[in-house]
A and B are shown apart, each in its own frame.
Chain A
Amino acid sequence: MDLPTSPRLYAYTGGRAFDAAKPTVVFLHGAQHDHSVWILQSRYLAHHGYSVLALDLPGHMRSDGPPLETIEAMADRIAEALRAAGVGQFIAVGQSMGSLIALELAKRMPQAVRGVALVATAFPMRVAEPLLNATRDTPGEAMDMINIWSHSPSIAGFDRKPSNPGPGFSNMWQNLRLMQRIQRRNGASVLPTDFVACSRYAAGLETAAALQCPVLFVLGTSDSMTPPRAAKALIEACRQPRVVTLPHAGHALMSEDPDGVRTAISEFARRVFAPAS
């Protein structure tokens, strides 16, 4: 569905019509991605009692406008759209760059956000200068590097089970083709813009410390983009952190361990939306 905002902001609803009266899960993807990285988790939650909005971020795939240059601007745009759509209580689930947006969204909508789930996160989320330069100068090579670093090392990136979204699929090549598609559809500026936004984001610790809601961290032990140690400062800054560590999973956690991520998020959602006893 398109959220009632301009420029157009697209959200996948998990195969069920969006119902603002239900507790909602908002999914926020990472750099050079779109909603489809959450295919199994979003579809599962939409069929298990929640409304789901898995967004295409501004300037990504089906959402219009240029990519936004700061995490704060992305959060502003999304908050505006969620309010316009009448979204009530929700949890914000973000991966990588999306995890930083989830933090800022919680800061902007403290009454609505019941919990924040940060998947494959880090703070600071600085992108190394050579990689940043490659996103501008040799984007094809940059996407290959990102793709390799996003998955378990060596052959493990090609043999994960269960396959995502089902038997017969290649996690590695799906991720590369998605990045390439976004480049073709939305332009070459998306990837460097996203990476600069991640690098420049400076408010992570203060924002995390001010959160009143529970915060879930879902981290992969084979994540070489945002290794678990890089989330330590954020975890320590949160008042109510809960950490789930998924063994042998890389940065592309949702495809490398779809069941682990689904279980972590659905248990978190059940807990934060449970009626107070």
Chain B
Amino acid sequence: MPVRYPGFDTLALHAGQPPDPTTGSRAVPIYATASYVFDDSDHAAALFNMERSGHVYSRISNPTVAVFEERMAALEKGVGAIATASGQAALHLAIVTLMGAGAHIVASRSLYGGSHNLLGYTLARFGIETTFIDPRDLDAWERSIRPDTRLLFGETLGNPGLDVLDIPAVADIAHRHGLPLLVDSTFTTPYLMTPFDHGADLVYHSATKFIGGHGVAIGGVLIDGGTFDWMDSGRFPTLTEPYAGFHGMNFAEESTVAPFLLRARREGLRDFGACMSPHTAFFLLQGLETLPLRMQRHVDNARKVVEFLGGHAAVESVAYPDLPAHPDHALAQRLLPRGCGAVFSFNMKGSRTAGRTFVESLQVFSHLANVGDAKSLVIHPASTTHFRVPDEQLEAAGITQGTIRLSVGLEDPADLIDDLAQALKRAQKAV
């Protein structure tokens, strides 16, 4: 027998689920139940008190959801995972498990608009402050760390300009200051990159995107690499000191490598309640089974579309790290050897009218607010996903009024290119 772990493709199909022991069901059953019958009073008490493994109430855990969590943990090489109601819920769960009012975050300014809003406005209202910095400026990461900083945060591929986060360098800065690095890996998925291999400590996904791939379910997942030494850092009393909300449990004593997940489930999921439903987990598992096949096709199609756009007279620039001209090309070659995903932006020549005509002329691409679907998608960030972001920050993130974001799907690439060509022609006529 070879001494190796099962491969990615095998884990994507099997991890977290033996055939159902009761029915023999090969597919993951949907356990549509709010709660679970106890064997007796002792069993009930032991489950509540974390003396035995099992399910009590589906807000805290559910067998279908657990398969999804364990499969994602297996693929990311994390010690465990918690599935959430959305990617935003996963980000919120990570932050509130680590800190409270009076804490500070250093974050990349190239974030999904919703994340930017959460950090810049909503959490600020609850006393958690964020400093946004240029993710390529390593000095800025270090310079922005303060005594009350508790987290560094960025996206593996920044939204929407595809800045490649230099995870090894930023993680090194974080760790020198006794801080963890959280990354949003939605655009890359574990197929293109496993951030824990590069030094990240916590990873989350909007599973609505490539993980599911079908665009039928909203979900998120937060994974702990088990690599960060909370005890050694000394900055995280929520994990290393007794917690009155669970009979004085000291999570770092219970589990050396997974105190973060214990607290996140026993407090954040329990109290905030942004859990995933078993039906959603089932949908996402259907997508996860084909993740490696789909991601490779997404990347292959994206490369063809990028090549087409790069040579078109109506296109001013294409931001895709596979291209030698992209400022992060060398870093992408190192961190993303399989490819840079299938979501990217390009700038059209001409006015806002040209952009609007282009988007409205597309037939195969769907105009909507999502990415990572099997179907190709298009959106105009300045008026939609990033409409709340101030102009100066938009400019700093590389977004102009002419920026168009594409999410390249799994269609025949010739049809995608034909569709883009006819829409660009119409847009040019509209100028």
Which of B89-97, B144-152, B247-255, B356-364 contacts its partner? B247-255
In the complex the two chains form, is B46's CB within 8 Å of A173's CB?
Answer: no
Task: Known pairs A170-B78, A178-B256; list 16 more (Cβ under 8 Å).
Answer: A47-B51, A144-B5, A155-B6, A158-B15, A158-B74, A159-B16, A159-B17, A159-B18, A160-B18, A165-B254, A167-B53, A167-B55, A170-B80, A177-B226, A181-B229, A258-B53
In the complex formed, the residue of A with least CB distance to B79 is A174
A170 touching B74 in the complex, CB below 8 Å, given contacts A47-B49, A158-B15, A184-B229: yes
A44 touches B46 (CB 8 A): yes
A203: CB under 8 A from chain B?
no
Kindly state the separation between the CA atoms of A180 and B65 in the bound complex, as whole angstroms.
28
Instruction: Tell me whether B332 is interfacial, beta carbon within 8 Å.
Output: no
Q: How far is the CA of A148 from the CA of B227 in the complex (A)?
A: 19
- B81 proximity list for chain A (CB < 8 A): 168
Quick one: which of B50, B227, B265 has the most chain A CB within 10 A? Answer: B50
A151, chain B: closest CB distance, angstroms:
10
Question: Given the complex of chains A and B, what is the CA–CA distance between A15 and B253 in angstroms?
Answer: 9
Q: How many Å from the CB of B203 to the closest CB on chain A? A: 13
Instruction: Please give me the residue from chain A that is nearest to B55 by CB atom.
Output: A167
Q: A47-B46, A166-B53, A178-B257 are in contact. Are A185 and B229 (CB under 8 A)?
A: yes
Known: A166-B265, A168-B61. Is A39-B227 also a contact (CB below 8 A)? no
Bound complex: CA A185 to CA B252 (Å): 15
What are 19 A-B contacts with C-beta separation under 8 Å?
Answer: A34-B256, A40-B51, A43-B49, A43-B50, A44-B51, A44-B52, A158-B11, A158-B70, A162-B54, A165-B255, A167-B55, A167-B66, A168-B83, A168-B261, A170-B79, A173-B79, A173-B226, A177-B257, A262-B52
Report the minimal beta-carbon distance from A149 to chain B, rounded to whole angstroms: 8
With the chains together, A162 CA to B253 CA distance in Å?
A: 22
Within 61-120 of B, Cβ neighbours of A (below 8 Å) are at: 61-63, 65-66, 69-70, 73-74, 77-83
Contact assessment for A181 and B256 in the assembled complex, using a CB-CB cutoff below 8 Å: yes
A26 to B328, CA, bound (A): 54
Complex: A167 Cα to B60 Cα, angstroms: 9
With an 8 Å Cβ cutoff, the count of chain A residues facing the other chain is 44
Interface check A242, CB cutoff 8 A? no
Contact A40 B52, beta carbon cutoff 8 Å: yes
Q: Are A174 and B257 in contact (CB under 8 A)?
A: yes
Q: Shortest Cβ distance from B365 into chain A, in angstroms?
A: 37
Q: A residues within 8 A CB of B62?
A: 167
Q: Would A166 and B50 count as touching, CB distance under 8 A?
A: yes
List CB contacts (< 8 Å) of A143-169 with chain B.
144-145, 148-149, 153-169
Considering the chains assembled together, what is the distance between the CA atoms of A161 and B20 in angstroms? 10
Q: Which chain B residues border A172 with CB–CB below 8 Å? A: 5, 74
Is A36 interfacial (CB 8 A cutoff)?
yes
In the complex, A259 has a CB within 8 A of chain B: yes
Query: Which residue of chain A is the closest to B247 with respect to CB atoms?
Result: A15
Q: Is A195 an interface residue (CB 8 A)?
A: no
Contact B50 A170 (CB under 8 A): no
Q: Residue of B at shortest CB range from A43?
A: B51
A12 near B253 with CB under 8 A, answer: yes
Report A150 CB to chain B, min CB distance, Å: 12
When distances are taken between beta carbons in the complex, the residues of chain B under 8 Å from A100 are none
Q: Is A265 an interface residue (CB 8 A)?
A: no
The residues of A with any CB-CB pair to B shorter than 8 Å are 12, 15, 34, 36, 39-40, 43-44, 47, 61, 144-145, 148-149, 153-170, 172-174, 177-178, 180-181, 184-185, 258-259, 262
> Which of A36, A167, A168 gathers most chain B CB within 10 Å?
A168
Query: Which of A36, A145, A170, A262 has a CB less than 8 Å from the CB of B3?
Result: A145
Given A158-B74, A168-B70, A170-B79, decide whether A40 and B53 contact each other with a Cβ distance below 8 A: yes
Residues of B within 8 A of A44 (CB): 46, 51-52
Q: Is the pair B226, A174 in contact by a Cβ cutoff of 8 Å? A: yes
CB neighbours (8 Å) of B257 from chain A are 36, 174, 177-178, 181
Least distance between B280 CB and chain A CB atoms (Å): 15
Check B255–A153 contact: CB distance below 8 A: no
Q: Which residues of B contact A36 (CB under 8 A)?
A: 254-257
B-side contacts of A166, CB under 8 Å: 50, 53-54, 61, 262, 265
B122 interface hit (Cβ, 8 Å): no
Question: Are A158 and B6 closer than 8 Å at their CB atoms?
Answer: yes
The yes or no answer to B244 lying at the interface (CB within 8 A) is: no
Q: Once the chains bind, are B79 and A43 in contact (CB under 8 Å)?
A: no
A residues less than 8 Å from B65 (CB atoms):
167-168
List the B side residues contacting A167 at CB < 8 Å: 53-55, 61-63, 65-66, 69-70
- Whether the pair B261, A169 counts as a contact (CB closer than 8 A) is yes
With a cutoff of 8 Å between Cβ atoms, the chain A residues found around residue B77 in the complex are 173
Chain A residues with Cβ below 8 Å from B82 are: 168
Across the interface, name the chain B residue whose C-beta is closest to A56: B256
Q: Give Cα A155–Cα B261 distance, bound, in whole angstroms.
A: 24
Q: Is the CB of A148 within 8 A of B80?
A: no
Chain A residues, Cβ within 8 Å of B14? 155, 158-159
- Cα–Cα, bound, A43→B251 (Å): 13
Nearest-CB distance from B69 to chain A (Å)? 4
* B254 contact from A43, A155, A177, Cβ within 8 A: A43
Q: Give B1-19 interface residues, CB cut-off 8 Å to A.
A: 1, 3-6, 10-11, 14-18
Complex Cα distance, B5 from A61, in Å, reads 26
In the assembled complex, the Cα of A164 lies from the Cα of B74 at a distance in Å of 14
Of all chain B residues, the one with the shortest Cβ separation from A34 is B256
Residues of B within 8 A of A170 (CB): 70, 73-74, 78-80
Interface contact A173-B74, CB-CB below 8 Å: yes
CB closest residue in chain B, given A141: B3
CA distance A121 to B5 in the complex (A): 24
CA–CA, A153 to B82, complex, Å? 26
B128 close to A (CB within 8 Å):
no
Contact A174 B54 (CB under 8 A): no
Residues on A with beta carbons closer than 8 Å to the beta carbon of B21: 161
Inter-chain CA distance A168–B53, complex, in Å, is 10
Q: Contact between A168 and B73 (Cβ–Cβ < 8 Å)?
A: yes
Please tell me if B225 contacts chain A, counting CB pairs below 8 Å: yes
Residues from chain B with Cβ under 8 Å of A157 in the complex? 6
Contact (Cβ within 8 A) B53 A162? yes
Interface hits, B209-247 → A, CB 8 Å: 225-227, 229, 232, 247
A177 — which chain B residues lie within 8 A by C-beta?
79, 225-227, 257
